[in-house]
A and B are shown apart, each in its own frame.
Chain A
Amino acid sequence: MWEIIQTYWLYYLIGQYPEGPLGGLALTLVLAALALLLAFPVGILLALCRLSHYRSLRWPVTAVVYVVRGTPLLMVVFWAYFLLPSLTGQMTDQFNTMLAALVIFDGAYLSEIIRAGIQAIPKGQTESARSLGFNYLQAMRLVILPQALRNMLPSLVNQFVSTIKETSLGYIISLNEVSFVATQINTQLLTRPAEVYLLLGLTYFVLCFGLSRVAFWLERRLAAGVAHQ
């Protein structure tokens, strides 16, 4: 295993960059971070629609969230792969296909986290904000969301862990992320699949386990903060 790392570490970490496109572990991280960042506003929007008083907003969005949560991510990836070029009228590369699929998928999941976070804030907060003269959106933006997001922080870090794991599906559309790169290395070596894939598993483990410890630590800190108040 040690020789494999010595020979391929740079390729494994950044792909063919700077001669070619960015790949490997760096691409996995960039994709996951970008997906979560873009999915976040989508999630807030969907959550607000699901909590809306207007049925014409609440029902269709609830249906969309149920459909997305009831389908595998792979299905969403295939739809994106197939629909994006005909919608935008030009070829979509693998990175943007995967990004679009992840934003839709994570947006739906995040909306559930955000909805639960908003619902956990006592109703009195909205009522007092409204009676102080804020309109609905101001009350949301200035009073409810800042508190809700703070409480959601551990769940958001956990969602990031899930997103990192989800980027591995880019493998199927030949996106140059770390699982795909590992397979490329395996094809070059041919005889040592067990070691290569063990290394791949270990890489994900270090990354995701580390992050989930961060989430755990945040949770404890937030709980301690609440106890102090």
Chain B
Amino acid sequence: MNSFDVPMLLSGQYHDWLVSGFALSIKLALITLVIALPLALVVAVLRLAPIAMLRAVGVVFVEAIRNVPLLAHMLFWYFGAPEVLPDSIKAWLYERDVEAASAVIALVLYTAAYMSEDIRSGIRSIPKEQMEAGRALGFSFLGTMRLVILPQALRMTVPPLISQTLNLWKNTSIAMVIGVAELMYQAQQVESASFRSFESFAFATVGYLMISLAITGAAAWYHHHYPVRSA
């Protein structure tokens, strides 16, 4: 085996491919996070709603999504879902970045299902007298949620949400299956173009690890500055 080719990773065409993949991975993760968080909040509140119908919708959403691998979600949203749309919308879609859009849809749904469970257990850790007191004071269910329960619950939910963000970061790699040019995809492209497997995989591994360790560090920082208080 030849020696480890560092310059190849620091400049030139292969470097540009890898860096653009890294940037796209980060972008995927950020866009997903921004959309998935509010969706997760809605699903968590649905699962605790006073109406059985709404609770059922929440349960079905979470269970149907969590029990199917992300890869199957990606395949469905990329290959399957556009086929059932009318031709005009399909044509419009295929002119745009349909790979990235499918990946984001799959990632958002998958991440939101997991995050909603974390938020739900955060909400459930607030004593139910708080809800009763809020209702007794004349607030509606949503009003009590927004003004009394959620501000307390979300504080407790931050650590599990950070670890879900770490999972999201690692899950972005699966988007390569449907041809999104993120870090893993570019690493494979560089590998097959240059036959430099070791270098390209090392770059990708370090890229993934850097962000993962930063996220782990954020969790440790939060744990240190806002230790868990019993309610």
Knowing A70-B208, A72-B208, A172-B177, say if A200 contacts B184 (CB, 8 Å): no
6 more A-B contacts (CB under 8 A) besides A66-B216, A72-B208, A194-B83? A66-B213, A71-B170, A74-B173, A192-B83, A193-B83, A212-B67
**Contact residues in A for B72 (Cβ distance below 8 Å):** 168, 179, 197, 200-201, 204
Knowing A72-B184, A82-B198, A194-B83, say if A201 contacts B171 (CB, 8 Å): no
Ranked nearest first, the 9 interchain pairs of A and B with the lowest CB-CB distance are A70-B212, A208-B67, A165-B69, A194-B80, A72-B173, A168-B69, A72-B170, A197-B76, A197-B80
Residues 126-166 of chain B, each 1 if its beta carbon lies under 8 Å from chain A, else 0: 00000000000000000000000000000000000000001
B64 at the interface (CB under 8 A from A): yes
Query: In whole angstroms, what is the CA distance A120 to B171 when docked?
Result: 30
> Are the CB atoms of B198 and A205 closer together than 8 Å?
no
Using a CB-CB cutoff of 8 Å, which residues 1-54 of chain B contact chain A? 1
Task: Give the size range of A's interface with the partner.
Answer: 35 or more
B219 at the interface (CB under 8 A from A): no
Query: In whole angstroms, what is the CA distance A195 to B83 when docked?
Result: 10
> Are the CB atoms of A204 and B205 closer together than 8 Å?
no
**Contact residues in B for A72 (Cβ distance below 8 Å):** 170-174, 184, 208
Q: Could you give 10 example pairs across A and B, Cβ below 8 Å?
A: A70-B208, A70-B209, A70-B212, A74-B184, A75-B173, A75-B204, A78-B184, A79-B201, A82-B191, A193-B79
**Contact residues in A for B208 (Cβ distance below 8 Å):** 70-72, 75
Smallest CB gap from B75: residue in A: A197
A73 at the interface (CB under 8 A from B): yes
**Contact residues in B for A222 (Cβ distance below 8 Å):** none
Contacts from A to B (Cβ < 8 Å): 66-67, 69-75, 78-79, 82, 86, 161, 164-166, 168-169, 171-172, 179, 182-183, 186, 191-198, 200-201, 204-205, 207-209, 212
Smallest CB gap from B77: residue in A: A197
Residue with the highest number of chain B CB atoms closer than 10 Å, among A73, A74, A168, A169: A74
**Contact residues in A for B184 (Cβ distance below 8 Å):** 72, 74-75, 78
> Are the CB atoms of B170 and A209 closer together than 8 Å?
no
> Are the CB atoms of B209 and A201 closer together than 8 Å?
no
> Are the CB atoms of A169 and B84 closer together than 8 Å?
no
**Contact residues in A for B80 (Cβ distance below 8 Å):** 193-198
B101 at the interface (CB under 8 A from A): no
Q: How far is the CB of A149 from chain B (nearest CB, A)?
A: 24
**Contact residues in A for B70 (Cβ distance below 8 Å):** 165
Q: How far is the CB of B16 from chain A (nearest CB, A)?
A: 21
Query: In whole angstroms, what is the CA distance A71 to B80 when docked?
Result: 29
Q: How far is the CB of A43 from chain B (nearest CB, A)?
A: 19
Using a CB-CB cutoff of 8 Å, which residues 40-96 of chain B contact chain A? 63-64, 66-73, 75-76, 79-81, 83-84
**Contact residues in B for A207 (Cβ distance below 8 Å):** 67
